[in-house]
């Protein structure tokens, strides 16, 4: 048996301590503590506006928290606590740690003028400065992983929403992140297309990818999640295994949330 935050697959991939985020006077995250176990799926659920996206964005350093720390593989992300206080790290350190994080958004944001393969290889070519042949071999391997090798030459407009989101996942995987963050990856898809994206995510989980998933797909959270955290008003109100969190009797706030989304 492993408790939430521990993992048989090997330690903590990412840990959040005392994270506080404000937008002006509005405190959106009010002291978040969370350990993401390596090789496992952590699911974040909660009502709209509870701070789920902001928390994920802080984990990817797309937002800077006002207090608290995030460690990725033991390395501080963005800010480090020192005897002199909280200190912003140099850009090269920040880039190096951020490189281990991949993120997939609700909106796929593919380049419309590039093929599926072009979208997947773009960052390899531009950011990683990889040659065309090597980038394309890597890109095709990632498209194969999401079941779209045969669509490599298609443009986004020629692909369904589910296929576009799978290309976006392949694009993120091509950069070989150690942790994948998903922010409502199926929320802009027609219901009949969510399954193919969730199947790709299940496959990644089975391969041992460390994942943090914000989703209203409670069935996914219950079946794939090692742990579930329920956010409400910028705090983690409930945290534990899916059985702990979803089992009855349920917390009244969670019950009300599930009534809205199920």
Q: Which residues bind ligand ADP (CB under 6 A)?
A: 23, 28, 46, 48-54
Minimum CB–partner distance for residue 52 and Mg ion (Å): 5
Pair of tokens at residue 203: 């496959």
Name the maximum alpha-carbon separation found in the chain.
Answer: 57
| 46 binds, options Mg ion, ligand ADP, none, Cβ within 5 to 8 A by partner type | ligand ADP
Q: How far is the CB of 19 from Mg ion (least distance, A)?
A: 16
Q: For residues 137 and 158, give the distance between their C-alpha atoms in angstroms, rounded to a whole number.
A: 22
To the nearest whole angstrom, how small is the minimum distance from the Cβ of residue 76 to Mg ion? 25
Residue 28 contacts which entry, ligand ADP, Mg ion, none (Cβ below 5-8 A, type-dependent):
ligand ADP
* Shortest distance (Å) from residue 46 CB to ligand ADP: 6
Do the beta carbons of residue 229 and residue 43 sit within 8 Å? yes
Q: Which residues bind Mg ion (CB under 5 A)?
A: 53
Asked whether 37 and 219 are in contact (CB, 8 A), the reply is no
- 103 beta partners: 181
Q: Closer CB to ligand ADP, residue 44 or residue 148?
A: 44
- Residue 33 makes CB contacts below 8 A (sequence gap 6+) with 16, 17, 18, 19, 236
Strands 26-37 and 12-23: antiparallel
- Which residue lies nearer to Mg ion by CB, 21 or 151? 21
CA distance 252 to 39: 31
CB of 52 to ligand ADP, least distance (A): 4
Min dist CB 104 to ligand ADP, Å, is 14
7 interface partner picked from ligand ADP, Mg ion, none, CB below 5 to 8 A per type: none
Question: Which residue number, 101 or 174, has a Cβ lying nearer to Mg ion?
Answer: 101
For ligand ADP, the closer CB: 47 or 73 = 47
54 binds, among Mg ion, ligand ADP, none (CB under 5 to 8 A by kind): ligand ADP
If phi > 0 it is left, if psi is from -120 to 50 it is alpha, else beta; for residue 70 that is beta
Taking CB positions, which residue lies at the least distance from Mg ion? 53
Other C-beta atoms within 10 Å of 210: how many?
28
* Residue 261 interacts with which of ligand ADP, Mg ion, none, CB < 5 to 8 Å by class: none
Cβ neighbours, 10 Å, residue 260: 9
Take residue 189 and report the two structure tokens written for it.
């898809």
Rank residues 56 and 97 by Cβ distance to Mg ion and give the closer one. 56
The smaller minimum CB distance to Mg ion, of residues 12 and 53, is found at 53
The DSSP output letter for 176 is: -
């Amino acid at each position: 048996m492993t408790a939430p935050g521990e993992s048989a697959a090997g330690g903590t991939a990412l840990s959040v301590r005392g994270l506080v985020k404000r937008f002006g006077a509005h405190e959106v995250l009010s002291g978040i503590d969370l350990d993401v176990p390596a090789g496992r799926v952590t699911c974040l659920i909660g009502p709209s506006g509870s701070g789920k996206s902001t928390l994920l964005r802080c984990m990817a350093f797309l937002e800077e928290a006002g207090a608290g720390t995030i460690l990725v593989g033991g390395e501080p992300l963005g800010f480090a606590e020192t005897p002199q206080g909280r200190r912003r790290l140099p850009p090269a350190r920040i880039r190096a740690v951020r490189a281990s994080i991949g993120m997939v958004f609700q909106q796929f944001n593919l380049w419309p003028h590039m093929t599926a393969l072009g979208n997947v290889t773009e960052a390899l070519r531009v950011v990683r400065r990889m040659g065309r042949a090597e980038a394309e071999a890597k890109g095709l391997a990632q498209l194969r992983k999401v079941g779209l090798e045969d669509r490599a030459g298609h443009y986004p407009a020629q692909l369904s929403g589910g296929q576009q989101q799978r290309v976006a996942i392949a694009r993120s995987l091509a950069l070989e992140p150690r942790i994948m963050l998903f922010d409502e990856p199926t929320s802009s898809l027609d219901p009949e297309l969510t399954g193919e994206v969730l199947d790709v995510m299940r496959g990644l989980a089975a391969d041992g990818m460390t994942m943090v998933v914000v989703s209203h797909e409670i069935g996914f959270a219950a079946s794939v999640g090692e742990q579930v955290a329920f956010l409400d008003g910028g705090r983690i109100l409930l945290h534990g295994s899916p059985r702990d969190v979803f089992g009855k009797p349920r917390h009244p706030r969670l019950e009300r949330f599930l009534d809205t989304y199920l």
